[in-house]
Amino acid sequence: MPNLEVKIKDLILKNPVMTASGCFGYGEEFMDFFDISCLGGIFVKGTTGSKREGNAYPRMAETPSGMLNAVGLQNKGVDAFISDIYPRIKDIDTHFIVNVSGSTIDEYVTVASKLNDLDKLNAIELNISCPNVKEGGMAFGTSCPSAIAVTEAVRKAYHKTLIVKLSPNVTNIAEMALAVEGAGADAVSLINTLLGMAIDVERRKPILSTITGGLSGPAVKPVALRMVWQVAKAVKIPVIGMGGIMNAADAIEFMLAGATAVQVGTANFIDPAVCPKIIDGIEDYLIRHRINDVNELIGVI
């Protein structure tokens, strides 16, 4: 059997397949469909300092080979995560990684430091790329100085593996990746959704209540793959790739482009049992190509 284990700084993943934030709930929603402990990791929903209701309905528009969402970080807040959700998931044998979001640097720092104290959580993903909130989110991730400022501040408060999730809505994503690497990030994950919109021509109105939203699904995959390749060439820290992965071949493409691991997002909505199929598919691929270690795929291109 080939080795599937990969490392993101101190985080040892049993395989490179993880689920993307906002696409897999807290994992519990998928337990009827498969044993979620088979996953390399689970990135849970974007978590903020206090409870958020998110944006008004409609928050979703189906688009060719993808979808737009404008959920806007609806979540119960970090304290509710720690008191209600963490006790339920902490003993599941996979890595739970909280996606940390906020409107201000102080909010990011508060959430990160609270999560730092949780024994069973060994990493966070800093979300400086949410396109669906008025303050913070993507605003931090689209300029180098603010990305550096938030990453440095969180780095001081968080002592375990710090992953920074990058926005594709920039001119030069490699520059952003280098900036957060310099500010202390242990890894980068990309891409968050691409800013887009959809219009109902019969009603002559935007479909989303927020007019614009984040595009995900296979429609964004070529863009995501190109960005992962550019970033992997630029930085020394591990890259976690995502954007429209629907099957094992897609996941392998990201690894060949330079990703150490991947996140599966929108595909979970169409097939809630897709992740174990992707894991098995990667293993089959390695056997078929007589490759003993999945790490040999990383950055071949």
When binding is defined by CB under 8 A, the residue of 11, 67, 112, 278 that contacts another protein is 67
Is position 59 an interface residue for another protein (rule: CB under 8 A)?
A: yes
Give the span between the Cα atoms of 16 and 261, in whole angstroms: 4
- The full 3-state SS of 18-51, as one line of letters, equals EECCCCCCCCHHHCCCCCHHHCCEEEEEEECCCC
Site for another protein in 216-235 (CB under 8 A): 217
**193 is a site residue for another protein (CB under 8 A):** no
Interface residue with another protein, options 6, 8, 30, 294 (CB under 8 A): 30
Give CA–CA dist 236/233, Å, rounded: 8
From the CB of 207, what's the least distance to another protein, in Å? 9
Q: In whole angstroms, give the CA distance from residue 258 to residue 67.
A: 26
The label of the residue with tokens 């009827």 reads: 32
Distance CA 238, CA 83 (A): 31
Segment interacting with another protein (CB under 8 A) among 56-64, 79-87, 125-133, 289-297: 56-64
Stretch that binds another protein, among 2-10, 55-63, 101-109, 256-264 (CB under 8 A): 55-63
| Identity of residue 137 | G
- The full DSSP string for 146-208 is HHHHHHHHHHHH--SEEEEEPPS-SS-HHHHHHHHHHTT-SEEEE--PEEEE-EETTTTEESS
Residue 3's CB is within 10 A of a number of other CB atoms, namely 14
Among residues 23, 100, 109, 251, the one that binds another protein under rule CB under 8 A:
23
54 binds another protein (CB under 8 A): yes
Q: In the complex, what is the shortest distance from the CB of residue 55 to another protein, in angstroms, rounded to a whole number?
A: 9
The correct pick among 48, 185, 268, 298 for binding another protein (CB under 8 A) is 268
Query: How far is the first Cα of the chain from the last one, in angstroms, to the nearest whole number?
Result: 25
Q: What is the rounded distance in angstroms from the CA atom of residue 256 to the CA atom of residue 228?
A: 10
Q: Report the distance separating Cα 108 and Cα 9, nearest Å.
A: 21
Cα 173-175-179 angle, rounded to 5 deg: 115
Tell me how far, at minimum, the Cβ of 14 lies from another protein, in Å. Answer: 22
Interface size with another protein, residues (CB under 8 A): 34
Nearer to another protein, 64 or 145 (CB): 64
| Contact flag: residue 285 with another protein (CB under 8 A) | no
Our finding on whether 24 is near another protein (CB under 8 A) is: yes
- Binders of another protein in range 118-177 (CB under 8 A): none
- Binding flag, residue 25, another protein (CB under 8 A): yes
Helix H or strand E segment including 213 = strand 212-216
Nearest CA-CA partner of 187 in 248, 263, 119: 263
> Of 11, 13, 18, 22, which lies in the binding site for another protein, with binding defined by CB under 8 A?
22
Using CB under 8 A, which of 4, 71, 121, 179 touches another protein? 71
Q: Which of 2, 9, 14, 33 binds another protein (CB under 8 A)?
A: 33
Residue closer to another protein by CB (options 142, 192) is 192
Kindly tell me which of 29 and 284 has the beta carbon lying closer to another protein: 29
Binding site for another protein (CB under 8 A): 22-25, 29-30, 32-33, 45, 53-54, 56-67, 69, 71, 74, 217, 266, 268-273
